[in-house]
Structure 1
Amino acid sequence: MSQKATSCQYVFSDVQQPNLPLIHGQDVSCIFEGKEAVVALNKVNFGIEEGKITAIIGESGSGKSTLLRIIYGLLEPASGEVRYRGWLVPTRKDKLIPGHDAMKLVSQGFDDLNLYAKVWDNVASQLPNTDLERKRLKTEAVLAKLRIDHLAQKRVADLSGGEKQRVAICRALINDPEVLLMDEPFNQVDAAFRDDLQQDIQQIVAETGLTVLLVSHDPAEVLAMADYLIVMKNGLIVDQGNPHDLYYRPKNPYTARLLAKSNVLTPEQAAVLKLESQQLIAIHQEFVHWQEAEDGAFWIKDFRFRGMFTEVILGNAQLTLHALQYPAAEVKKNTRIDILVSAVHYFEA
C-alpha cells in the first residue's frame, strides 16, 4: 500500500469517510485485560490537522502513549475507530507487520537502533540498494538536516542520549513519511540541546509539510513548539485547542495546573482574597503580586530559588498561593504582606 492509497488492502469492508481531519478518532476506547480491567482510553474524540505539530500532554498513566499507539495501529481500540485520510487505520488483526504505512513511530527507548552499528548504517539501512547513489545522497541529506552528519562514522552506542534521539528521527524521516509520531522525544535530551532539536523539527515541518504528533508530560516542551494541544487525564481528553488559548483560558482546572502550575481556588478560598465566584477559579503564578505591609493579612510562608526567578509561597491560615518573583530578589519568610491579583480565570460550571 502506498502512502496515498486506501486501507482497503487490509480492511476490505472499509469505505472512505470524507471531510475529516487528516487523523480522526471517534469514541476511541482501549481496555487492558488482567486481574482487573484497566480502561486506558474512554471514548475519546480528536482530530489531527495536516502539516501541524500536535502534542498530547498529561501526567503518567493518563493514556497518552496508548492513544499514540492506537493512532499508529500497534493497538486495536476496544470500541470506536481511528481514520487516516478518511480510511480506517489497520491494526494487528489486519496486518502482519503492524503500523500505518504513511507513519513512522520514534519510541522512547531507541528500540529500533542497532547500538553497535555506525550512525550511517543505522540510517542508510532503511533504504533499498536498488539505487546506491540515491541512497548515499538521501542519507547525507537527512543526517545534515538533523545536524549529525559529523557523527556518521560513530557507533550509536558511543553517542549521548540527544544524539541517539536524532539518529532515531533520521531513521524515521529518511523514507519521507507523511506523519511522524514521537513518544516523549526529549526525555533523554540535555536541556542545553533541547531547544535546538525542537527548532530543527519545526523547520522540517515548515519545509516539508510533515505532520508531527508527539507525547509529552512537560508543558515547557509543548508550549514552545506545538500548534495544537490535546490534554489527557485518566484516559479522557479533558481539553484541546491552541496552546495560547489553553494556557490563558483553560476549560478544565487540570489544564491550568498542568500548563501553568496555576493556583486553583474554590469559591470559599477566592473569598479570602475578596474575589466573588460561584465556581472554581484559576490564578496563574505570574498574576499574583504582593507588597510588604506591617498589618497585612497574609505573609510569606516559604520561597524556592529557581535561577532567573523565585517561586514564593504566600497566604494565611486559610489559603496558600504560589507566585513568581522576576527577577529573583531577596525574600524573607514570615514577612507580612498584602496580596494583589492582576488576572483571574473563571471556570464555567
Structure 2
Amino acid sequence: MVQQSYSCQYIPTDTQQVGLPLIHGKELSHIFMAKQEVVAVNQVDFGIQENKITAIIGESGSGKSTLLKLIYGLLEPNNGEVRYKGWLVPTRKDKLIPGHDAMKLVSQGFDDLNLYAKVWDNVASQLPNTNLSRKESKTRETLERLKIDHLAQQRVADLSGGEKQRVAIARALINEPEVLLMDEPFNQVDAAFRDALQQDIKHIVEETGLTIILVSHDPTEVLAMADELIVMKNAKIVEQGSPQQLYYTPKHSYTAQLLAKSNILSREQASVLGITASAPIGIHQEDIIFQQKIDGNYQVTDIRFRGFYKEVVMSNGNGLTLHAIMHPVSDMIIGSKLDITIAKYIQFIQ
C-alpha cells in the first residue's frame, strides 16, 4: 500500500517501543466526569494486528465506542497508553485537531456527510485542488471500489442508509489511511445489504492492506467478517481471539451468550444432565440432539421461528430449561415429549 504523506503531522516526543503489535494498549483507562464518575474503560490491555479486521463487541455501555476513540486519540486516557507502530498516539493535549494522522474515523449517524451535496462532491472534497487530474481519477477509483460510482451525481440526502454508509467510507478511504475506524458501521444498513457491504470491506482490506477496527452492537453480524474479536463487558476486555476460537472455545460464559446464545448451566444444573463440572458450563443450541419420545424427560414449551431454523425451548419440569435448534419443516408441536443427548459442552474459567 502506498504510504500517504500527511500535513501538520504530529511529531512524537516519546521513545518508540519495538516488538509491539501495530496498535497496542496497556493498562488503558478512561473515566467520564459527570454527576458521578463513570468508568468507561478500565485497565485494559490489547493488541491489534496490521492488515486485519478487528471487531470490538459487547453489550450496550460496555465501553466499545470509548475504546475506539481512545485508539484514535479523540479521548485522553486517565491511565495507561495507546501506541501506534510503537509511538504514543497523540491526544487533544498534543495537537490542535485530534485524531491520529494515519487513521480515519467513520462515526455513527453520517455526521461528516454534506447531505445536500452530490456523492461525487462529498468524496472529492477530501482531496486538494493542487492536482485536478489526480483528484478526478482518485475520486472515480474510490467510488468504484465502494460500488457507488453510479450514484456520483445523486444527493446524499436521497440515498438509502446503506448507500450513505458507503459514501462515508469512501470519504474516509480516499486519502489512503493506514487504519480505518468504524463505529457501528452497519447500524443503519438494511439487513439484506449488510453482508454485501461487509464482504466489500473485507475485499478492500485484502486488496490494499488496510487495517480496520470496528465497533458492533450485534456480534453475530461480524463473525464472517472479522479476523479478530475483542469482547468487552463492564469497561473491561473479557477476552480476545479469532471468531472461531471465541465461538467454539470461549473462556467466559458472557462470550458464549454473546456469540452463540449458548445455554449457560450452573454445576448443579449440569449434574442433572450427567455432567460433572467444577464451574458453569455452556451448551450451544446446535449441540443438543433430541428426538420425540412418548416417555421423554423433556417437554417442548415453546417453538420460535428464526428464519432458516426454529428455536425449540424445552423443560424437564424441575427448573431446567434448554434452547436448541430444530429444522424449520419439522412437525414437532408444543407439548411434545423429548429425549435429549448433549453432543459437547464448554467448561468455562468463570
Output the amino acid matched with 1:175.
N
| Residue 274 (structure 1) shift | 1.4
Measured against aligned partners, the alpha-carbon deviations of 1:194-238 in whole angstroms (never above 9, x if no partner) come to: 111111111110011000000002122211100000000010000
Indicate how the Cα distance of structure 1 residues 337 and 157 shifts in structure 2: closer, same or farther if over 3 A, else same: same
Report the number of matched residues.
Answer: 346
Aligned-residue CA RMSD (Å): 1.5
Q: Measure, in 1, the Cα distance between the counterparts of 2:263 and 2:329.
A: 20
Q: Does 1:232 align with 2:215?
A: no
Output the amino acid matched with 1:196.
A
Identity %: 66
Equivalent residue number for residue 330 of structure 2:
329
- Equivalent residues in 2 for 1:37-186, closer than 5 Å: 37-186=37-186
| Residue 343 (structure 1) shift | 1.0
Output the amino acid matched with 2:106.
V
| Residue 4 (structure 1) shift | 7.5
Output the amino acid matched with 1:348.
I
Equivalent residue number for residue 191 of structure 1:
191
| Equivalent residues of 1:282, 1:344 under 8 A apart | yes
Q: Does 1:270 align with 2:270?
A: yes
Output the amino acid matched with 1:152.
A
Output the amino acid matched with 1:282.
G
Indicate how the Cα distance of structure 1 residues 169 and 121 shifts in structure 2: closer, same or farther if over 3 A, else same: same
- Equivalent residues in 2 for 1:189-268, closer than 5 Å: 189-268=189-268
Output the amino acid matched with 1:240.
Q
| Residue 277 (structure 1) shift | 1.0
Q: Measure, in 1, the Cα distance between the counterparts of 2:116 and 2:40.
A: 36
Output the amino acid matched with 2:142.
V
TM-score by length of 1: 0.96
| Equivalent residues of 1:10, 1:95 under 8 A apart | no
Q: Measure, in 2, the Cα distance between the counterparts of 1:3 and 1:276.
A: 58
Q: Measure, in 2, the Cα distance between the counterparts of 1:36 and 1:301.
A: 45
Output the amino acid matched with 1:341.
I
TM-score by length of 2: 0.96
Q: Measure, in 2, the Cα distance between the counterparts of 1:347 and 1:208.
A: 39
Equivalent residue number for residue 321 of structure 2:
320
| Equivalent residues of 1:41, 1:63 under 8 A apart | yes
Q: Measure, in 1, the Cα distance between the counterparts of 2:142 and 2:331.
A: 49
Secondary structure of 2:224's partner?
helix
| Equivalent residues of 1:312, 1:324 under 8 A apart | yes
Output the amino acid matched with 1:117.
A
| Residue 328 (structure 1) shift | 3.8
Q: Measure, in 2, the Cα distance between the counterparts of 1:67 and 1:104.
A: 15
| Equivalent residues of 1:305, 1:328 under 8 A apart | no
Unaligned 5+ residue runs, structure 2? Answer: none
Output the amino acid matched with 2:111.
D
Indicate how the Cα distance of structure 1 residues 9 and 123 shifts in structure 2: closer, same or farther if over 3 A, else same: closer
Indicate how the Cα distance of structure 1 residues 153 and 9 shifts in structure 2: closer, same or farther if over 3 A, else same: closer
Runs of 4+ in structure 1 off by over 3 angstroms are 2-5, 7-11
Q: Measure, in 2, the Cα distance between the counterparts of 1:41 and 1:32.
A: 10
Equivalent residue number for residue 299 of structure 1:
299
- Equivalent residues in 2 for 1:22-33, closer than 5 Å: 22-33=22-33
Q: Measure, in 1, the Cα distance between the counterparts of 2:16 and 2:312.
A: 55
